[in-house]
């Protein structure tokens, strides 16, 4: 098994656009020829569009794009720009009188950095598609990761800056990769050795606190829990699967989030993970699902290591003791 770039997975184009001054952006994964897709949502507060398309009982067998966006639910507007870009190129489900691009979208909450009144819109979604055509994807504080952060149990004062990360592997002819924007309530851990690598900081920033341990200090109901969170992402493969099978792979890929983020899937997170299949290669579903969990966990680490300090939040690379 060898590491490759996520952009090496054929049939997909990935691009980004951001409003750096406002601290938000979006990342698009285009599959103009269509991709079978599944979705697994485990967080209690998702912001999403066209999720029903991915249910096994829905008629559509393939979609044409997934958009990962900042801006909370406001950022769903950016999907309109993705639709326009695809329509201009004749991509979409043929209804007889028009081709309708099928675009699914999920958003994370980044309104606590930069400007809370400027969010990804149709123009930014269109720009992300232009970025995909130009091959501009990169890890770090770009696209949906522009305003991402973690460790927010006590609010932004003790949080850390993260971003968007990717990781992909090739096993024979099989390719599996992931792109994840990390914006969790909880902490991030290296899934290989259990070390905490990002998350809740001590009040004096002298070290990490463990969010789980802080939560266990009391059991009474917290009615106004800090909710500026949600980790969103997608796994990609060149193997051929049905929509129903891709829903199972998306569920298995969520194990990568469970390995790398604690706590995860809380009511204050909207954790959502897509799985996309485009290609003709035959592969075992359990092998692909297991690899999907691994690349998702590694993509989360890349989102942490590639982030740069911004919006008053420190990134891991600038911690003097990390």
pLDDT at position 8 is: 97
State mean pLDDT over 160-184.
Answer: 98
Q: What are phi and psi of 126, to 5 degrees?
A: -65, -45
> Can you tell me which residue has the tokens 């091959």?
135
Residue 304's CATH number: 3.60.70.12
* Residue-averaged pLDDT of the chain: 95
**Omega within 30 of 0 (cis) for the link into 152:** no
Q: How confident is the model at residue 226 (pLDDT cuts 50, 70, 90)?
A: low
Strand-pair partners of 150: 160
Q: Please indicate whether residue 322 or residue 57 has the higher confidence score (pLDDT).
A: 57
pLDDT at position 161 is: 98
Residue 305: which domain range?
Answer: 2-318
- Can you tell me whether residue 241 is helix, strand or coil? coil
Q: Total structural domains in the chain?
A: 1
Strand-pair partners of 273: 40, 233
């Amino acid at each position: 098994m060898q590491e490759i770039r996520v952009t090496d997975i054929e049939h997909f184009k990935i691009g980004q656009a951001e409003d750096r001054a406002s601290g938000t952006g979006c990342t698009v994964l285009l599959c103009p020829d269509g991709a079978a897709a599944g979705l697994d949502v485990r967080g209690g507060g998702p912001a999403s569009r066209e999720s029903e398309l991915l249910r096994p009982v829905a008629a559509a067998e393939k979609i044409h794009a997934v958009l990962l966006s900042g801006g909370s639910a406001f950022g769903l507007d950016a999907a309109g720009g993705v639709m326009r870009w695809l329509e201009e190129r004749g991509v979409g489900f043929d209804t007889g009188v028009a081709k309708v691009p099928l675009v699914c979208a999920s958003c994370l909450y980044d309104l606590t950095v930069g400007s809370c009144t400027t969010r990804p819109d149709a123009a930014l979604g269109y720009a992300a598609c232009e970025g995909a055509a130009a091959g501009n994807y990169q890890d770090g504080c770009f696209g949906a990761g522009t305003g991402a952060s973690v460790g927010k149990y006590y609010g932004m004062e003790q949080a850390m800056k993260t971003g968007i990360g990717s990781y992909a592997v090739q096993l024979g002819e099989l390719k599996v990769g992931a792109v994840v924007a990390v914006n969790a309530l909880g902490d991030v851990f290296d899934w290989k050795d259990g070390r905490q690598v990002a998350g809740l900081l001590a009040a004096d920033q002298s070290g990490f606190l463990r969010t789980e341990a802080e939560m266990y200090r009391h059991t009474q109901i917290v009615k106004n829990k800090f909710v500026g969170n949600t980790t969103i992402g997608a796994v990609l493969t060149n193997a051929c699967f049905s929509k129903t099978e891709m829903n199972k792979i998306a569920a298995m890929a969520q194990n990568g989030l469970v390995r790398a983020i604690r706590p995860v899937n809380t009511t204050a997170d909207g954790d959502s993970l897509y799985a996309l299949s485009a290609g003709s290669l035959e592969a075992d579903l359990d092998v692909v699902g297991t690899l999907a969990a691994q690349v998702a966990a590694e993509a989360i680490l890349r989102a942490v290591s590639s982030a740069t300090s911004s919006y008053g939040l420190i990134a891991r690379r600038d911690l003097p003791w990390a």
